[in-house]
Amino acid sequence: MRILLLASYSPSLRNFRGSLIEDLIKSGYQVYVGAPGLDSDFETKQWLEHRGVSCYNIRLSRNGVGLISDFFTLLSLYNLIRSIGPNYVLSYTIKPVIWGCIAARVAQIPNRIALITGLGYAFTPGTSKKRTILRILVGKLYKLALHNSTLILFQNPDDRADFLRWGIITKNHHQKIVPGSGVDTERFSPRPFPEGPLNFLMIARLIQDKGIKEYVESSRLIKKGNPDTTFHLVGALDTNPGGLTEDTVRQWEKEKLLTWHGEVPDVRPFIEMSHIFVLPSYREGIPRTVLEAMSMGRPIITTDTPGCRETVRDSSNGYLVPARDPNALARAMKNFLCSPCLIQEMGLVSRKMAVQKYDVRKVNSLIINSLKEPS
Q: Residues 259-286: pLDDT tens digits? A: 999 999 999 999 999 999 999 999 999 9
- Do 98 and 46 touch, CB atoms closer than 8 A? no
- Cβ neighbours of residue 121 under 8 Å, at least 6 residues apart? 131, 134, 207, 209, 240, 241, 242
- Do 199 and 266 touch, CB atoms closer than 8 A? no
State the Cα–Cα distance between residues 87 and 124, nearest whole angstrom: 34
- Do 293 and 277 touch, CB atoms closer than 8 A? yes
Amino acid type, 315: S
Report which of residues 54 and 243 the model is more confident about: 54
Q: Residues 309-362: pLDDT tens digits? A: 999 999 999 999 999 999 999 999 999 999 999 999 999 999 999 999 999 999
Q: Residues 334-349: pLDDT tens digits? A: 999 999 999 999 999 9
- Cβ neighbours of residue 239 under 8 Å, at least 6 residues apart? 62, 63
What's the confidence (pLDDT) of residue 126? 60
Question: Quick one: residue 211, left, alpha or beta (phi over 0 = left, psi -120 to 50 = alpha)?
Answer: left
What's the confidence (pLDDT) of residue 64? 56
Structural domains of the chain ordered from first start: 2-182+359-371 (3.40.50.2000), 199-357 (3.40.50.2000)
Range among 59-68, 112-121, 151-160 rated most confident: 151-160
User: Average of pLDDT values for 50-58?
Assistant: 97
State the Cα–Cα distance between residues 296 and 177, nearest whole angstrom: 25
Nearest to 189 by CA among 93, 268, 282, 81: 268
Supply the pTM of this predicted model: 0.92
